[in-house]
């Protein structure tokens, strides 16, 4: 039996800074690994998530030169939890600015969950800048995907957890949970904002792994919850700022020449495996791995194994 691959040993960033977007945001970024290695960019989930030290460990530090960054409004970027000038296309432009800052012609783009959405959007706008794609927990921002996770679908598998989401809503509001939460997450009352944010974020933290995780409690931490809940809801209310309901699938021809690996857990409740299947059907040149006995999180053993294999493969190991 093949031994499952694990994260590379921990290592530090060698340089950090802030990118001034010119429209009110300061984007935190860091560089790590070998400055002469293969360029790569790590795109975190959410929207509204953040990078962590262990994300560096998805890449062999001897062979990769990696840019990691916190997207607008989250992590160490400033201002915190801001919705102003915060859309998919603002983030795509930020990624391209970061590539220029790093001084590379192209790079491997690695994204999971919302990071897969943003990776696809970036690649389709700037295909010349992408050497390879590693995509995990596919999220295509179609209406049916939001309906599944925030209305009718995942709630049937976690009824006691979903009941908490509904606990602050009226019976009428339960018919459109995303809109009902928007009112609270943009309330002028910080107490109302925080209550809604912690409920929203905890729902995610408790449903993204196949088995309960000790890390789920961290999703209720105030700063993290406010960023991920406010920014996710903002994006979902606006359908991810996409012009078309299937925009990422309909424009796949722009990137089908780019080598890609798609990795998805069979029992992913946040983003159904159908998403990965639909992407692979539209993009048969991509390499698809459906991981048995896994949910959504990147560090579930089978998913992590394939992610490390993918980064090693593209560096030529």
The single residue of 77, 82, 113, 201 carrying the catalytic annotation is 113
41 within 8 A of 58, measured Cβ to Cβ: no
CATH 3.40.50.1820 spans which residues of the chain? 13-141+241-315
| Cut 0.75: pTM above it | yes
In the annotation, is 63 catalytic? Answer: no
In the annotation, is 12 catalytic? Answer: no
pLDDT at residue 68, rounded to an integer: 98
Walk along the chain (317 residues) and give the pLDDT tens digit of each residue: 579 999 999 999 999 999 999 999 999 999 999 999 999 999 999 999 999 999 999 999 999 999 999 999 999 999 999 999 999 999 999 999 999 999 999 999 999 999 999 999 999 999 999 999 999 999 999 999 999 999 999 999 999 999 999 999 999 999 999 999 999 999 999 999 999 999 999 999 999 999 888 777 899 999 999 999 999 999 999 999 998 889 999 999 999 999 999 999 999 999 999 999 999 999 999 999 999 999 999 999 999 999 999 999 999 75
pLDDT at residue 313, rounded to an integer: 96
pLDDT at residue 317, rounded to an integer: 53
In the annotation, is 217 catalytic? Answer: no
The single residue of 44, 63, 264, 268 carrying the catalytic annotation is 268
The single residue of 25, 296, 297, 305 carrying the catalytic annotation is 296
pLDDT at residue 36, rounded to an integer: 97
pLDDT at residue 244, rounded to an integer: 85
SS (H, E, C) the chain: CCCCCCCCCCCCEEEEEEEECCCCCEEEEEEEECCCCEEEEEECCCCCCCCCHHHHHHCCCCCEEEEEECCCCCCCCECCCCCCCCCHHHHHHHHHHHHHHHCCCCEEEEEECHHHHHHHHHHHHCHHHEEEEEEECCCCCCHHHHHHHHCCCHHHCCHHHHHHHHCCCCCCHHHCHHHHHHHHHCCCCHHHHHHHHHHHHHHHHCCCCCCCCCCHHHHHCHHHHHHHHHHHHHHHHCHHHCCCCCHHHHCHHHCCCCCEEEEEECCCCCCCHHHHHHHHHHCCCCEEEEECCCCCCCCCHHHHHHHHHHHHHHHCC
CATH topology of domain 13-141+241-315: Rossmann fold (3.40.50)
Sign (positive/negative) of CA torsion 150, 152, 157, 158? Answer: positive
């Amino acid at each position: 039996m093949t031994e499952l691959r694990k994260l590379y040993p921990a290592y530090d960033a060698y340089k950090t800074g802030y990118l001034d977007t010119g429209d009110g945001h300061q984007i935190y970024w860091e560089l790590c690994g070998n400055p002469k290695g293969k360029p790569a960019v790590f795109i975190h989930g959410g929207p509204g998530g953040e990078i962590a030290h262990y994300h560096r460990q998805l890449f062999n530090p001897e062979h990769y030169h990696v840019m990691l960054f916190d997207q607008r409004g989250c992590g160490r970027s400033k201002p915190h939890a801001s919705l102003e000038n915060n859309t998919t296309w603002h983030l795509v432009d930020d990624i391209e600015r970061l590539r220029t800052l790093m001084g590379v012609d192209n790079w491997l783009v690695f994204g999971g969950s919302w990071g897969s959405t943003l990776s696809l959007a970036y690649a389709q706008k700037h295909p010349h800048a992408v050497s390879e794609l590693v995509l995990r927990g596919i999220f295509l921002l179609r209406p049916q995907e939001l309906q599944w996770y925030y209305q009718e679908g995942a709630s049937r598998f976690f009824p006691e957890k979903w009941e908490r989401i509904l606990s602050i809503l009226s019976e009428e509001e339960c018919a459109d949970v995303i809109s009902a939460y928007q009112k609270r997450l943009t309330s002028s009352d910080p107490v109302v904002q925080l209550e809604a944010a912690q409920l929203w974020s905890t729902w995610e933290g408790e449903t993204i792994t196949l088995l309960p995780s000790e890390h789920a409690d961290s999703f209720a931490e105030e700063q993290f919850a406010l960023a991920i809940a406010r920014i996710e809801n903002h994006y979902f209310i606006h359908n991810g700022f996409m012009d078309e309901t299937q925009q990422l699938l309909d424009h796949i021809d722009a990137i089908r020449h780019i080598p890609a690996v798609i990795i998805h857990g069979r029992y992913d409740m946040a983003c159904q495996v159908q998403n990965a299947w639909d992407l692979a059907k539209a993009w048969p040149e991509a390499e698809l791995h459906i991981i048995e006995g896994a949910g959504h999180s990147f560090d579930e053993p089978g998913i992590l194994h394939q992610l490390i294999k993918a980064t090693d493969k593209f560096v030529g190991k």
